[in-house]
Chains A and B, each alone.
Chain A
């Protein structure tokens, strides 16, 4: 079975540009999570969705960040405009809502903002 699929795996962009990260969760999973990983702050939860509805976006750092989940098989995380401090690895994870904590992670999108 396919796992969580993220794209792109690597993105290098210049400050001020728009960045869009994509995620396809595992089929049948109805919870989706976006995490950011940096050396300084570790893994931070940015936002999560249940049944395509955003439940908690308190981790989204600022208005430059936005996330959508238009359907059960696709989500995006957008940064506009991007800044060097946004450089990190962004992970998408999915789970079946009734199985707490068993998150399945994608391989991550490594973002570098110059």
Chain B
């Protein structure tokens, strides 16, 4: 079954610094990969997705992610973090045989002044 691992439970970055959140997937075929963000007390919101094609995908709020098959990774990046980016970030994997997603455990991002 497809699964994702997010190695970092917590990440702290300074406002204005760059950000990279790690995600590794396990899936035999080409996966459908997603990043979602959850603000406190809220549901999850889709940031970006990868199905096929260009391995660098752009999302909302200035985020991007790169699919690297050789490393089974789909890391999320942002060149300059804003205080409002503090939230929980989830990587997820799906497949074309179903529409449900399997989520990683999440990475909590703290942004310091």
Contacts and interface: CB of A to CB of B under 8 A. Distances in A.
A91 B45 CA distance: 12
Contacts of B92: 101
Interface of A: 4, 31, 33, 35, 42-43, 45, 48, 50, 55-56, 91, 93, 95, 97, 100-108
Q: Is the interface of B mostly helix, strand, loop or mixed?
A: strand
How many B residues touch the partner, as a band? 20 to 34
B102 interface: yes
Interface string B3-37: 00000000000000000000000000000101010
B43 interface: yes
Given A95-B99, A101-B101, A103-B101, A108 B51 contact: no
B90 A43 contact: yes
B98 A101 contact: no
B44 A31 contact: no
Contacts of A42: 103-106
A97 B98 CA distance: 9
Contact of A100 (B43, B44, B94, B103): B94
Contacts of B105: 42
Interface string B87-110: 000101010101111111110000
Give the interface centre of B34, B42, B100, B102 by most chain A CB atoms within 10 Å: B100
